[in-house]
Every structure is written in C-alpha cells, then in structure tokens.
Structure 1
Amino acid sequence: MTPPDHQSPAPDSPGPSDAPGPSDSLEPSDSPEPSDSPEPSARPEPSGPPAPVSRDRIYRSPAGIAGGVLLLGISVWLGMDALVVGEGRTPWLALAGLLLVVPLIGAFTLRPAVFANEERLRIRNPLRLIVLPLGAVDSLRSGYSNEVRDKSGTTYQLWAIPVSLRARKKAARQQARGAAGRGGGMPAEPTGPVRAQADQIMDELRELVEARGPAEQAQGEPSVRWAYEIVAPALAGAVLLVILLTVG
C-alpha cells in the first residue's frame, strides 16, 4: 500500500494547493470569520506581576534595647508596688509617674529603628517618624552623632545608630596593630579597614543611597509624623502629676 504522501490526486479533485488552508484564513477580508484559536501574535500580552518590593533592612541598638527592658522592668515593679500597697495620694502619684515615665523610656530605648530598602529610609526616632525617599537624601554624616540630611537642608538624627567613641578607638587600635604586624613580617590579620559597627552601618546606607538614589521609584518628598502614641500618654501623666503636686 502506497503511503498517503505518495498518492497522486484524482484529476477532478482539487489538490492540496487548492484546498483552503490556515494561510487563507489570515488574508484580510471585509467580513472576517471569527477564529477559535487566534495566532499568538493576535493575543494581548499579559502584564506581568508587579515587581516585588525589597525587604527592609532593620538597624537597631542592642544596648539600647537591653537598657530599656531593664528600666521598664524596674519602673513597672516600683509603680505597681506603690499602686497596691500605697496609701493616700501615693497610688495616684504612682499612676501619674507610670503614665509619664513608661512611654518615654520605651520611646528613647525600644522605639528607635532605621528601616532601609531600595526606595526609602524610614527613621523611627523617639518622638517622630521620618520617611525619606532615597532620591531626597543629600548626605549621611558621622560625627558625635549619626545624621541624615535631605536636599532641603533639614537634618535628622539617627537615634537607632548611636556613635560609640570607644568602639572607634578600639577599631583604630586594631587597624594600627594590623599595619604594624604586616610591616614587621608577622602573620597578617584580615585585610581591609577595621571600622566600628555604627560606621559600617553608615557606609552601607551611603552605598545604598548612591546606588538607588537616581532610580525613579526612589523619588519623592520627605514626610514627618509625630508619635502621638508616645506624646499623648506622657503628656497626660505630666499634667496629672503637676495637678497632684499642686493640690498637695
């Protein structure tokens, strides 16, 4: 039996070239027939998912957190003791003191943090929340405190990244010993400059701003919001304490 590809078409029957094929249906016409399976080029290209937002890198002070937990524990312990066993005005004074002290301790020790991603810096200071797009950052400076300056000239302190002069001196001594060891033929210590941890963090933030600052997603205006959740109870405690002390 001859395979179908080798059979000659009958004289009266149209050949394969006369039969309508897929190419005939793509020719333009006044009344095109709907196609059940359109060509891939005719299909609208699906829009891809939005680019994922980069995760925040969080910088905090471990020493500040440890000190804050200790101070909060002592304050709550003394305050609750005065509330339970105190007499006269003592419970009210203890309540006012707790309302004033507890929010402030938490604000200056546990609250400070810096959140950095490829679009912005979010600086959580004791009483304010500052959001700085990377394109709005002018410089990051390290002196006796770490600061960020926006392009309008406003400066914000980075409470979460405190400067440690002791750590700087220690890093300088390690770098000096490493240089002396390499010069005297002693085994070399790890190469590269030795930096204090806070200075290393500031270097990372500078590199991030330089790399991502010109990006379109990193543009915008700075915004500042007061931490009313801290200010309100502390102010209420201060007012109550003044009233109690004034009344006598």
Structure 2
Amino acid sequence: MTTPHPEPQDQTHRSSGGIVGGVLLLAIVGWLGIDALATGHGRTPWLALAGLILVVPLIVAFTLRPAVYANENRLRIRNPFRIIVLPWGTVAGLRSGFSNEVVTKTGTKFQLWSIPVSLRARKKAARREARAAAEAPGAQSGGGRLGAFGGGTGGGSRSGIAPAGSNRAESDQIMADLRELLESREQAEPAQGEVTVRWAYEVIAPALAGAVLMAILLATG
C-alpha cells in the first residue's frame, strides 16, 4: 500500500490594505447596525437586520476573503465569489497591467483579487531604482564614463546598488515569484490536472437572503 505524498506547504498572498479596510468597514457597519437594532423603532430594526445580512458578507467577500495560495503543484485563488484551483500544468502565464491575472492554456483569465496593482507603489519603486542607479560608481560627476562601464576602481559589491528585483513594487515582486514557480513546475508530473472552479455559496447565500429580505421590507412598507 502506497502512502500519499503530503501536500506541499502553501505560500499565502493577501492584501494587507484590504484586510485593514475590511476590518474598519465591519466595525462601522456593525456599530451602526447594532445601534439601529437596539434603539430603533417600528421597521427600523428589521431594515437594519436585512442590511447587516446583505452588507456584511459582501464586505468580507471583497476585503477579508481574497487570497492566493501557491505551492509546487498548483495555484489556488480565493476570489470574492469563487475558488479556482489551477495545477501549474494548466497555466499559460501570469499577466500584470492595471490588474494581475492568470491565464490558462485554454485562454480563460482569472483575476488575482488579493494581489492588487498599485500604480503609486510602482512609481515609488521606479524612483528607488533611479536613485540606486544614480548612486552607482561612475554615475556621479567625478566618476566619468569609464566608471559607468566598469572601468572605475573596485568595490562593486559594496556600491549600494540594490540586487535585481529588490526595487520592485510588492505586487510586482509577488507576480515575478509566481512566474518563477510556474516556469520551474509546469512540466512536473504532480503539477498536472484539471482546472476546478467552485462558487462561494457561503458568501452568496446570506447576501441573497439579505437582499430578498430588504426587498420584501421595502415593497411592503
């Protein structure tokens, strides 16, 4: 009897800004909703209850829930309303533009909600890279052209130039790491399989229930 190989450990990628924003939104909505439930009159408590049932799952879905789990065998994406599992053998590539996406070999695209693109972070990273290049030996006024092409004095390892990739924005660095994992594992036998997509009914069902209750209350008001 063969023993199954243990699942490789996941690397988890989540948006810290999304988590902080979600916690703050939940605190505000919870405070307002509980206050309306406790002190409201007439239909107000029922409307507050319907609002909480509708809004809380949506806040969780778009802020706290998104995550990307990557290991040697597959990429698992937990988006607001779906969970997508992609063995590396099914992935054609990872793209970064105004959003980060994974593209399958069949052409299907899935957005990585938990790895948002920050244009501000990219600009800061570009400024750091330009600053590092300006501080390189030969880039200063006394270094001359020879220094810029390696003709200056030694000490290149202590030049202050950041290693390649260290000046990237955080989301771009994560995408680069995922691309490296894809390139090294896409042909591996354990990384083959089928793409699976599951709807997050644990989020959809309560949000729909809250929407239906809200619609009934408004229609009968």
TM-score range, shorter chain: 0.7 to 0.9
Q: Could you give the per-residue CA deviations for residues 137-194 of structure 1, whole angstroms, max 9, x where no partner exists? A: 0110000000000111000000000000000000001101111111115953423241
- Structure 2 vs 1, CA of residues 220 and 49 (structure 1 numbering), >3 Å: closer, same or farther? closer
2:135 partner SS: helix
2:28 maps to what in 1?
Answer: 74
> Does the alignment pair 1:222 with 2:195?
yes
Q: 2:54 corresponds to which letter in structure 1?
A: L
> Does the alignment pair 1:109 with 2:71?
no
1:141 partner SS: strand
Instruction: Compute the displacement of 1:52 (Å).
Output: 3.2
- Structure 2 vs 1, CA of residues 205 and 242 (structure 1 numbering), >3 Å: closer, same or farther? same
4+ long deviations beyond 4 Å: 47-50
The separation in 1 between residues aligned to 2:115 and 2:219, in whole angstroms, is 40
Q: Could you give the per-residue CA deviations for residues 46-73 of structure 1, whole angstroms, max 9, x where no partner exists? A: x885443210000000110010001001
Name which one, 1 or 2, has greater alpha-carbon Rg. Answer: 1
2:129 partner SS: helix
Computed over aligned residues only, the root mean square deviation of the Cα atoms, in angstroms, reads 1.5
Return the structure number with greater relative CO, CA threshold 8 A, min gap 6: 2
2:43 maps to what in 1?
Answer: 89
The separation in 1 between residues aligned to 2:69 and 2:180, in whole angstroms, is 15
Normalising to structure 1: TM-score of the pair? 0.79
1:114 partner SS: strand
- Structure 2 vs 1, CA of residues 191 and 215 (structure 1 numbering), >3 Å: closer, same or farther? closer
Instruction: Compute the displacement of 1:246 (Å).
Output: 1.3
The separation in 2 between residues aligned to 1:245 and 1:48, in whole angstroms, is 60
2:82 maps to what in 1?
Answer: 128
1:64 maps to what in 2?
Answer: 18
Instruction: Compute the displacement of 1:242 (Å).
Output: 1.0
The separation in 2 between residues aligned to 1:199 and 1:190, in whole angstroms, is 16
The separation in 1 between residues aligned to 2:50 and 2:162, in whole angstroms, is 54
2:93 partner SS: strand
Q: Could you give the per-residue CA deviations for residues 185-204 of structure 1, whole angstroms, max 9, x where no partner exists? A: 59534232410000000001
> Does the alignment pair 1:205 with 2:159?
no
1:19 maps to what in 2?
Answer: none
Q: 1:86 corresponds to which letter in structure 2?
A: G
Question: Structure 2, unaligned stretches of length 5 or more?
Answer: 144-157
The separation in 2 between residues aligned to 1:48 and 1:154, in whole angstroms, is 36
1:52 partner SS: coil
1:235 maps to what in 2?
Answer: 208
Instruction: Give 1:131-170 correspondences, 5 Å limit.
Output: 131-170=85-124
1:237 partner SS: helix
The separation in 1 between residues aligned to 2:190 and 2:217, in whole angstroms, is 53
Question: Structure 1, unaligned stretches of length 5 or more?
Answer: 1-46
Instruction: Compute the displacement of 1:133 (Å).
Output: 0.5
Q: 1:245 corresponds to which letter in structure 2?
A: L
The separation in 2 between residues aligned to 1:210 and 1:170, in whole angstroms, is 28
2:85 partner SS: strand
